[in-house]
Chain A
Amino acid sequence: VKKRLRSAFMLHSKTPEFREKVEKSLKIIQEHYVKNRSYVSCSGGKDSLVLTHLCLKVDPDILVFHWDHGAYLMPREVEKDILGCIKALGVKNLAVRTSRRLWRPEARVDYRIWYRAFYGALRKLVEERGLEVCFLGFRAEESPRRKCRTRRFYEYDKATGVKLVYPIRSWTWLDVWAYIVSNNIKYPKVYDIYGEVLGYDKARLVTFFDMEFEKYGSPYIDGVLMWRYRHEAGF
């Protein structure tokens, strides 16, 4: 983040509204947290990094679940960077899962492959460890659908039966960046590449060259900003 923007985020982090939000989120986590039965879903994006940081304050041994999308959807360099950021938070109990099905070129085109693989692995993990509560970094600001979904701060997942909790539901992008900058959290470099062109409010970490996001123009933007990784996985 550039100096000027960084100082703006720092100023925002000192506002009473921001502090209130942080306290409220911590309160939600403490309220729903069940020892040895909770986990944080961490994609490595800015929201989930913030959420993981908050959850680690409540329980430093909490299970952090990270999904590896495979080389076609997530360049290895970026994945390495993400894992580095998660580990830099001080995560002790990290579970990384992936599926062979995603390590094929079709993963970029047919997104049903991803959903099947992801929920299959997640269900297995939930059953193995007897998990009941999942903390997710969804925010109402992201989309109207997420706004509706997170209305009650928690809901029950139909696929796994786990209680999904959204502690940072009311946060804005400014709050997220203010938290990252004020707590000196390491974030993936991709945000700086995309943030400078699209703006830090619109920069998101999603799978690359993924046709599921074609309606948002993501593959076209990736084609220009991440062109080096377009054919990386095929080699």
Chain B
Amino acid sequence: MEHLKVTIHLHTPVLLGHPFIFFDGIVAHLCLAEELGEQYFSLPSNYPIQELVDRSSIPLKRVYCRESGDYFFAASISFFDDVKRTIKYSVTHFRKRFTEQYVHRVCTKKRKVRLGSGFYRLYDMKMLYVPCRKVVFYADGEKSEIERLLRKLPALGKKRHAGFGFVKKVDVEEIEESRSVVWDSVAMRPAPGWAVDAVETVKRFKRMELLPQAYKPPYWSKANVKMCTVPLQQYVFRKEVLRQVGL
């Protein structure tokens, strides 16, 4: 397992539904799509997808809790353009309007077309996007396998079908120290409470904030929500965790 810096160069800006994109989420998605093939896209909603993630061969390092057996992946959140740059969001709209000139094509028995709900529902969705040229991730994992999987990544973020977050090229390079979980005491991803030394954190930084967040893929699953570290805030991580990521 190598310490990696993954830079994804983009053609178009990224649309977001959450301030961070999770690298382990991307890799898990690509890995499962490859393992399950077409089946991946027709999973019943109550299918135990968590078990699939747990058992699959995702080429990222897993950081384990010795007591509970719980784990999270050593992969950071997204950093747009530059780690130190603050993100500036912009707004874009997605609109659907019913055009009266095609009304003769509507085949319904009723004479009314409902625009408030159903198939012809109108919408004007606001979405936030980041006008960036590249996205940087840090991870610990198998370089060659990650490179191979990322070749299959067409786009990042939301509304990819509309051309947002289109990937230009991917650079995966090795770095000397691990930055996937922590970098200079700054949390690089949401890690569950067990990963942090609460007493030392309060002693050193005078405060410790934990928020309920998902910490492993699938990120949409509420089963994965726990009290976690807030990305980009300072914490003292447990020695056991640091040892596992090679720090």
Number of residues of chain B lying within 8 A (CB) of chain A: 26
**With A234-B225, A235-B227 in contact, is A215–B18 under 8 Å at CB?**
no
A221 touches B128 (CB 8 A): yes
Q: How many A-B residue pairs have CB under 8 A?
A: 65
Partner of B222, one of A214, A223, A225, A234: A234
Q: Is the CB of A216 within 8 A of B125?
A: yes
* Contact of B128 (CB < 8 Å), options: A224, A228, A231, A235: A224
A-B contact pairs, 14 of them (CB 8 A): A197-B90, A198-B91, A202-B126, A214-B123, A214-B125, A216-B123, A217-B94, A220-B127, A224-B17, A224-B18, A230-B212, A230-B213, A231-B211, A231-B213
- The B-contacting residues of A in range 179-215, CB under 8 angstroms, are 197-198, 202, 214-215
Tell me which of B89, B122, B227 contacts A197 (CB under 8 A).
B89
**Chain B interface residues toward A at CB < 8 A:** 16-19, 89-91, 93-94, 121-128, 158, 211-214, 222, 225, 227, 230
- Minimal beta-carbon separation of B165 from chain A (angstroms): 14
Rounded to whole angstroms, the CA-CA distance of A197 and B123 in the bound complex is: 20
Complex contact B126–A216 (CB within 8 A): yes
Of B125, B158, B214, which is within 8 A of A215 by CB? B125
Q: Contact residues of A with B, CB < 8 Å?
A: 197-198, 202, 214-218, 220-221, 223-225, 227-228, 230-232, 234-235
**Cα distance A228–B18 in the bound complex, in angstroms:** 10
Closest 9 CB pairs of A and B: A217-B125, A217-B126, A231-B212, A215-B123, A223-B17, A235-B212, A231-B225, A224-B128, A220-B17
A84–B196 alpha-carbon span in the complex (Å): 35
In angstroms, Cα B124 to Cα A202, docked, is 13
Complex: A234 Cα to B224 Cα, angstroms: 12
Per the bound structure, the CA–CA distance linking A216 and B213 in Å amounts to 25
Task: Find the B residue at minimum CB distance from A196.
Answer: B89
Q: Nearest A residue to B212 by beta-carbon distance?
A: A231
Smallest CB separation, B139 vs chain A (Å): 22
* 4 more CB-based (< 8 A) A-B contacts, given A215-B125, A221-B128: A215-B124, A216-B124, A217-B125, A217-B126
Contacts of A220 in B (CB 8 A): 16-17, 125-128, 158
Question: If A220-B127, A220-B158, A231-B225 touch, does A215 touch B122 (CB 8 Å cutoff)?
Answer: yes
Chain A residues, Cβ within 8 Å of B91: 197-198
- Complexed CA–CA distance, A231 and B225 (Å): 8
